[in-house]
Structures are given as structure tokens and as C-alpha cells.
Amino acid sequence: MATNSNEEIIEKRATAPIATSCLVIACVALLGAIIFQIVEIAAYRTGVAEPARINQGIAQDKAAKYMSQLKKDVEAVEALTPSGSGGLGAGAGLEGDSFGTEPPAMPEEPLEEPEEEEPST
């Protein structure tokens, strides 16, 4: 404390300008987010924004486009591959009874017993 009467006591207030500015920025961001959500809800309720229908239509269009391209590609591959060559022609490997059956078993030959070697000392 001050012992002499002519000393000036300087009081410092505890302020944190960085913390205050961060708090103000956070408040502004929160208010902006709330306002954005209110505007989005209002637009959805009035029918201006219908994202579910728009996205569903776009997805169906893309799927149809990709399926038609896939069919064209499969037809092109089938046209290039002869079906009798054992390759990947149309229906290759899917003939009636052969589909899903196991190949014929090969006869097993008895294995030869290994010769035992005497240990060298």
C-alpha cells in the first residue's frame, strides 16, 4: 500500500479485449445462423424450395442415363465377343444343367510316403 501521501495509486481494471471481441463475433455468427434458418424454413413452407423433389428428379435422370450407357456398353462387348469361342459372349457359362454344378472329380492317386533319412552323427 501507499506509505507516502504523495504517491499516486494506479488502479488497473481487468479487461480482456480479445475475449470481448471473440464474444461479439460469436454472437453475430449465432444470430446470422438463426436468421438463415428462419429464412430457409420460410422458403420451404412457401414452396419456393423443394429440395427433396428436385434432388430425387436429378437422381432418377442420372440413374437412367447411366443405365442406358451401361446397356450400350454391354451390347458393344457382346457384339465384339463371339459366343462360341468360350469367351464372355452372351450366355457364356450359363448353359442349363452345367450352371451351379461342381466339375467332375478327378481320380485321386495315392501319395507316396516320404523316405525317412537316418540322422547323421
Segments forming the whole domain that contains residue 66: 50-80
Contact 41, 51 (CB under 8 A): no
Task: Give the chain's domain count.
Answer: 2
Which of helix, strand or coil describes residue 6? coil
pTM beyond 0.85: the answer is: no
Is 40 part of any domain? Answer: yes
Q: Based on the fold, state whether residues 40 and 56 are members of the same structural domain.
A: no
10, part of any domain = no
**In this structure, is residue 111 part of a structural domain?**
no
Same domain, 42 and 55: no
- pLDDT tens per residue, range 28-60: 999 999 999 999 888 878 776 666 666 677 778
The predicted-structure confidence for 51-105, as pLDDT tens digits, reads as follows 666 667 777 888 889 999 999 999 888 888 776 555 554 555 455 445 556 666 6
- CA–CA gap between residue 43 and residue 33 (Å, rounded): 15
Q: Are residues 62 and 41 in the same domain?
A: no
